[in-house]
Structure 1
Amino acid sequence: MREDQRETAEDPRRRIPRTDRLLALPEVERARAALGEHVVRGVVRAVQDRARGGHIAPEDVPAEVLRALGDRPSASLRPVLNATGVIVHTNLGRAPLSEPARQALLEAAGYTDVEFDLAQGTRSRRGAGVRTALLGACPDAEDALVVNNGAAALALTTTALAAGPERDEVIVSRGELIEIGAGFRLPDLITSTGSTLREVGTTNRTHATDYTDAIGPATACVLRIHTSNYRISGFTSAVPIAELAPICRDAGIPLIADLGSGLLTPEALLPDEPDIATALRDGADLVIASGDKLLGGPQAGILLGRADVIARLARHPLARAVRADKLALAALEATLAGPTAPVLEALRTDPEALRERTARLAERVDGRLVPHDGRVGGGGGAEVPLPGWAVALEPELATPLRTGDPAVVPTVREGECLLDLRCVPEADDDSLVEAVRAARDTLAGREERPTR
């Protein structure tokens, strides 16, 4: 045998299974049906490359392909246990859906009658079910409209009401021109629609005369924005909706209230948080709220108010671009018609019951019971502490907890890793215990690994 033939015959890379043979494995064929051809082929190539690089033996390629496909989720988003104590955590997806809302998502995943009248066999109004549910929950509203998020609701409102050639001014108090997460500024959103922003008052004080003096022929609407994620205290004043409504009514212009948080009715634990029912009762012509905050539903922008104002928004071409999809409509309707949403359950958690539960878990994971205030989050209940408790662990556990399975997101503060159970379903306590034990095992393995 020639030397080059001997080298080829002895090259272990020749023993790497071919792609077509790997794709023909029954388990791989089933994965192709679930994940798609390009995804499965990508996994196969990646494992073959590891074998070519000498990282695994050629004989291990089939098993590694099956393991990689078995561990691969259908999407890159990972479920997490929210142990931060922040209820509406924007970085963790805001509101967790109720069981009825989750079931509604599954039922709406296929074909649905979202715009079809089954009895008549004709096209029907989109989102009729969620509209009925909203009007049932907010009887002070004449009509309702749902779009894909709160920013879209505000953009549609200012575009439809204040982007005309004659009336294009939106009057807003200077103290309400806020910036929210990721550098997103509401004034930039409003002016991007072609509207002209007319600021009144000062940062800390705005009076009724500021509005009356500013209203003129170019005024399209007055906008009240809940400042949500910050407070101005001390020498301050603002004009309540009940006082501003008659001013707008006399001028013949609509009063818009952007509340943000989606609280349907007053909440005793958040006395300063505006709610939809009160805003409508006090005379707001249109109320804007988010579905995925204190309402506890999916991401959605909710518009409630006068029938003529809602109709004007619904007729605008932009309404088509920002409309909610069938999944959001289904989950929102189920949230409104179902039991108390998880966000409100977390908000109303009994501190003593939380203490007892946290103490039991602290004992199981060899941690310490410490006081810990939760938060509403998502721009709601600014600076309002929610008294509670947490399990204090060694800070080194934070990273392996976040990267473990299940992924657990704690708070690291003052040299401690804190697990707040307020937003962790009690049914997941055993999983949380196992996650802590696995994190400690991971740390122990790193410490035992020899260093070069």
Structure 2
Amino acid sequence: MIDDPRRQVPRTDTLLADPRLTDAGERLGRGLLKDVVQRVQQRVRDGEVAPPDAVDAVLAALPGTASSLQPVLNATGVLVHTNLGRAPLSPAAVAAVVAAAGTTDVELDLGTGRRGARGEGAIAALLAAVPAAEAALVVNNCAAALALVATALGQGPELVLARGELVEIGDGFRIPELLTATGARLREVGTTNRVTLADYRGALGPDTGAVLKVHPSNFVVRGFTRQVEVGELAAALAGTGVPLVADVGSGLLRPHPLLPDEPDLQSTLAAGADVVLASGDKLLGGPQAGLVLGRAEVVQRLRRHPMYRALRVDKTTLAALEATLRGPLPPVQEMLAADLDGLRARARALAGRLGAAGIDAVAADADARVGGGGAPEHPLPSAAVSLLPSFADPLRLGSPPVVGYVENDRTLLNLRSLPPSADDALAAAVLEVARRWT
């Protein structure tokens, strides 16, 4: 029939040939563009889009990049949010990633024309940031660093580990299962809540490959407890030839006044640990990486193990890590250092803008968190914009998505986890939701 709606659906080749879509095809690829075209054609068939508006609908539906990942405004108050990709990279790190994305001298000495040391710049930056370390290497994440230690030091010989440090690190991953999956043997000492120096000494023997200390990170045990600090354990191991490996988790380089109980790399090595392990994408503020720093002999032993080849990082990670360490303060550290009065002023200004548009918005005090398993007992004072609870879902489904949280029957948009430069985008997202849903 002449009025059959299927006859009105623009042809695929006609839409793909439209000059308004040429740039999108070159930027995103023909396959992705064709998928969007076909979805819009179905919307035309369903009567949702008028046939003359098909190209405009395609343009509106195209993603910003060829990746399905999209930028999100993190208004959760969790500075290092694992579900949101942990630490946002600094502009310096982003620029370094872009520069390294092409052909680079990652393993070439341009001066001699010979093979060079991989990631030499990033390693040098790490050693400059943590002077107590003699050597360093970088692997994919902190779990990979633990797996490398277990493989290189704990197969045949035993790894001595306190029972209270047999922790779960998130999403069901448990430290003892990770370690034993490599073939390592664990020698558990102490009890869940108490371990003494005598427990460690009693476990040492000819089969001991290393003593491992793991910072619990995401929980605290209180009451009748006892743990052995790195310093006293290092003194007890002196002269035994048994290395002390400490997983400090969050990647804090030095002590921080807001996080008095959070271990840092420099202090842990200075206290006597032979090797420290940490994440690069938490409080350090860099890319996902596992940092291994410490005594040269032990680090070299790990680097020469065949497993290291499977766990090493790529050129973009090395570039981002070096730029994070050498460049300006990364976003996570700026968030940590944010002034409470400044956060409150931002909340009042945003609430005023939204209130002027007829939206029920007020400024409110709130707590923020480090996240990523760091400093679980140290809330960070913050400020938020408080909205009706009905805003939470449409904000998360908007463009860009805004992820806040509902507390006491209000949607809170916590500002400590957002830079001031995001305030205009945050206000625009709330205004758009109000326009569409109210």
TM-score range, shorter chain: over 0.9
46-55 vs 427-436, which moves further: 46-55
Q: Does the C-alpha gap of structure 1 residues 382 and 74 become closer, same or farther in structure 2, counting only changes over 3 Å?
A: same
- Tell me the amino acid that sits aligned with residue 37 of structure 1: R
Please give the alpha-carbon distance, in whole angstroms, between the structure 2 residues aligned to 1:12 and 1:288: 63
State whether structure 2 residue 293 is matched by structure 1 residue 304: yes
The residue type equivalent to 2:29 in the other structure is G
1:17 aligns with 2:6: no
Tell me the distance in 1 between the aligned counterparts of 2:382 and 2:49: 49
Q: Structure 2: which amino acid aligns with 1:335?
A: T
- The structural deviation recorded for 1:74 is 2.3
1:21 shift after superposition: 2.6
Taking the TM superposition and a 5 Å limit, the aligned residue runs for 1:373-452 are 373-444=367-438
1:111 aligns with 2:103: yes
Unaligned runs of 5+ in 1: 1-6, 445-452
Deviations 1:54-112, CA, capped at 9 Å, x for gaps? 5444444344334333x553211121111111111111111111111111111111111
Number of residue pairs matched? 433
CA offsets, 1:174-209, max 9 Å, x none? 011101211111110000010011110011110000
Q: What is the alpha-carbon distance in structure 2 between the residues aligned to residue 56 and residue 434 of structure 1?
A: 26
Change (3 A) 1:180 1:372: same
**Would the alpha carbon gap of residues 68 and 344 (structure 1) be closer, same or farther in structure 2, given more than 3 Å must change?**
closer
**Cα shift readout 1:336-366 (whole Å, capped 9, x = no counterpart):** 0012222122112222222222222222223
Note the 1:21-420 alignment, pairs <5 A.
21-69=14-62, 71=63, 73-163=65-155, 165=156, 167=157, 169-366=158-355, 367-420=361-414
Q: When the two structures are superposed, what TM-score results if normalisation uses the length of structure 2?
A: 0.95
Q: Which moved more, 1:286-295 or 1:114-123?
A: 114-123
Letter aligned with residue 265 of structure 1: R
Residue identity in the other structure for 1:11: D
Rounded Cα–Cα distance in structure 1 between residues aligned with 2:125 and 2:3 = 71
Which deviates the most, 129-138 or 58-67? 58-67
The 1-side partners of 2:56 and 2:422 are apart by: 31
Counterpart CA distance in 2 for 1:238 and 1:142 is 27
**Structure 1 SS opposite 2:346:** helix
Distance 1:241 1:424 in 2: 36
Between the aligned partners of 1:63 and 1:389, the Cα distance in structure 2 is 40
Q: Deviations over 1:250-303 (max 9, x none)?
A: 321110000000010111111111010011111111100000001111100000
- How far 1:118 sits from its partner (Å)? 1.2
TM-score by length of structure 1 reads 0.92
Whether contact under 8 Å (1:362, 1:369) holds in the other structure is yes
1:197 partner SS: strand
Distance between the aligned counterparts of 2:318 and 2:101, measured in 1? 12
Deviations 1:9-60 (A, max 9, x none): 5534234333333222223333222112221222222223333445444444
Which is further off, 199-208 or 406-415? 406-415
Residues in 2 aligned to 1:205 and 1:123: alpha-carbon distance in whole angstroms = 50
| Structure 2 unaligned blocks of 5 or more | 356-360
Give 1:424 deviation, angstroms. Answer: 1.3
Q: Is the 8 A contact 1:15 1:59 kept in 2?
A: no
Residues 190 and 124 of structure 1: CA distance in aligned 2, closer, same or farther (over 3 Å): same
Q: What is the aligned-residue identity percentage?
A: 55
Q: Secondary structure at the match of 1:259?
A: strand
In structure 2, do the counterparts of structure 1 residues 203 and 443 end up closer, same or farther at CA, with 3 Å as the change threshold? Answer: same
Q: CA deviation at 1:406?
A: 2.5
The verdict on how the C-alpha distance between 1:434 and 1:382 changes in structure 2, with shifts beyond 3 A counting, is same
Indicate conservation of the 8 Å contact 1:16/1:59, yes or no: no
Asked if 2 retains the 8 angstrom alpha-carbon contact of 1:259 and 1:289, the reply is yes
Q: Secondary structure at the match of 1:390?
A: strand
* Cα 1:209–1:404 shift into 2, 3 Å: same
Are the counterparts in 2 of residues 226 and 259 from structure 1 also a CA contact under 8 Å?
yes
Please tell me whether Structure 1 or Structure 2 has the larger radius of gyration of its CA atoms.
1
Q: 1:369 Cα shift?
A: 2.4
Deviations 1:308-361 (A, max 9, x none): 111111111111111111111101000100122221221122222222222222
Separation in 2 of the partners of 1:252 and 1:75?
Answer: 49
